[in-house]
Amino acid sequence: MEKTIITGASVIFSLTGLYFVVRIWQKWKNTDIDVLKARVFLNKKFLEKNWKYVFLSGASLAAHQSIDFLLSINYITSTGWIDKLSGFLELMALVFLVILAYGWFRVIYPQK
């Protein structure tokens, strides 16, 4: 049951992230690059958030892959708890990437 919930959440987050990325990509072609640079690189808080989400996504994915590796060499045994943790870490990697895409979406489509 938990695996179904995590898989369903992964699909929802994947589609949400895909929406943000496609919208950013469409607008990116018509955006003044100098204005974009000013919005991004002059905003220290935005840059720090970007690095934080990239780090958290990478760390979650690394932890998930480490668990899978340890399972594959039989260093640890697959238990319900291990499977849930691995699935949760994989989901969190995706969540952090979607949050990152949303941050860029807000930069490309500023609120009026």
Q: What is the pLDDT of residues 32-87, one digit of tens each?
A: 888 788 778 888 898 999 999 999 999 999 999 999 999 999 898 888 889 889 99
- Highest mean pLDDT pick, 8-17, 19-28, 40-49, 51-60: 51-60
Q: Which residues lie below 8 Å from residue 2, measured CB to CB, with a gap of 6+?
A: 84, 87
Q: Which residue type does 96 have?
A: F
pLDDT above 90 covers what percent of the chain?
A: 54
Of 110, 111, 101, nearest to 49 (Cα)? Answer: 101
**Domain boundaries defined on the chain:** 2-108
62-71 own/partner pairs: CB under 8 Å, 24+ apart: 63/89, 64/89, 64/90, 64/93
